[in-house]
Amino acid sequence: MKVLQVNKFNYLRGGADKYFLAISDKLRAEGHEVAEFCMHHPNNRPSQWSQYFVSRVSFNEAKLRDKLIAPFRILYSFEAKRKFKRLIEAFKPDIIHAHNIYHQLSPSILSVAKQYNIPVIMHLHDYKLICPNYQMLCGSKICEACAAPHYYRCFFKKCFQNSYFKSLLVTLEMYLHHSILKIYEKNVDLYIAPSRFMKDICVRHGVDPERIKVMYNFIDQALPARKIKPENYILYLGRLSAEKGLPVAIEALAKTKTALNFKIAGAGHEAIVCRNLAKKLRIDNRIEMLGYVFGKKLETLIDKALAIVIPSVWYENMPFAMLEAMALGKVVIASRIGGLPELIKHGENGFLFTMGDSLDLSKILNDLESLNVAEIGERARLSVGHLTLDNHYRDLMNLYQEYVKKT
């Protein structure tokens, strides 16, 4: 089968990119032809299809060119549409699997697929389908006020990066794509939701439930039981941003009666917030900021942790960090929100606490050293053992084949 994978980044940046890269590699390994459509970037993986990639634009840099191009790219990209058409004519895909395409690529490309009668499956890695700022957050608070048909509220609430201009831009984007052009409605055949929560909230805000299929993210492979004595620390791994709730975990640590330490593996603008809060609470000697950690070093870090903490304060979907930790037989302590409770059963294979409640989290941390974490971790490992890349690939191919036959 010839599969065109579409994602704005062709390098590892977040969960969506991890999925995009891993599934592309798996398809190739299984003998399928795969082409990518992405944005040019110096960190990109090599691709024989890079001649069709769109020019780079950054929304976080102060270059005049980026400031001038960005608004038009967000609303509708004629460059992306033109190059996407050229790629389709050169590659002739059987199916298109789209991931995160908004802003850097824009959904302008989707109508091209319909012109060539190519089925489109779109992965819902975040909430952009129903929310202008893609996180369902306003400031640091969960918010559903701007969902369809009330996109205008995003502007008045400055939901996007606390900016009237940027919020206006994404508000116009939603009205153009959903209310006027109806790009997604007309051109996407099926959405894949990585959690039941993602499907439910999209349905609640107007998406046809028959057009959404729940398919959890994957682990590389089922792992055997591991007998590694844990050390006296809890671990967070992932992006350091406000919605990840790291201050909640730091405040909880300060309230514990134990001598637990906290290691934070990742990078982001929230790092300075974490350092300042730890210093204010006088527990900076118990917190270690490790920056990005990869490969075997990260696996060892997870192996030796007493538990993994996911203190998210947004509608967390189905993070790879949780799946990978559970696959390694680790206790995961997570906010009771979003898709997290779908795999974590409190007291059985992990623990859940009330979102944003540092006292509730501290109670779990206080009890941690007295629990049989190896037994709980083993139940966690077994509970995700079926979510392998091989099984995911099989289910995905069944979907591909179903929609290719319909055309």
Average pLDDT over residues 385-401: 96
123 strand-pairing partners: 192
Instruction: Please say whether the beta carbons of 227 and 292 come within 8 A.
Output: no
Q: Which two tokens stand for residue 31?
A: 């003998």
For residues 29-54, one letter each, b for 16 or more C-beta atoms within 10 angstroms of the residue's C-beta and e for the rest, the string is eeebebbbbbbebeebeebebeebbb
Q: Is it true that domain 233-383 has CATH number 3.40.50.2300?
A: no
Mean pLDDT of the chain: 93
**Max CA separation in the chain (angstroms):** 64
pLDDT band for 221, please (50, 70, 90 cuts): confident
Closest of 195, 233, 201, 206 to residue 343, by C-alpha: 195
- The model's pLDDT over 347-371, given as tens digits with 9 standing for 90+, comes to 999 999 999 999 999 999 999 988 8
DSSP 219: B
Between 289 and 294, the higher pLDDT residue: 289
State the Cα–Cα distance between residues 282 and 228, nearest whole angstrom.
31
- The model's pLDDT over 26-69, given as tens digits with 9 standing for 90+, comes to 999 999 999 999 999 999 999 999 999 999 987 665 565 656 66
Q: Which two tokens stand for residue 363?
A: 């109670």
The pLDDT, as a whole number, for residue 130 is 94
CATH topology of domain 2-125+189-218+388-406: Rossmann fold (3.40.50)
E strand intervals along 167-276: 190-193, 212-214, 233-237, 261-265
Element holding 123 (H helix, E strand): strand 120-123
The pLDDT, as a whole number, for residue 70 is 73
Between 229 and 381, the higher pLDDT residue: 381
Q: Which residues in the chain are classed under CATH 3.40.50.2000?
A: 2-125+189-218+388-406, 233-383
Closest of 291, 231, 280 to residue 253, by C-alpha: 280
- Report which residue type is found at 217: N
The pLDDT, as a whole number, for residue 251 is 97
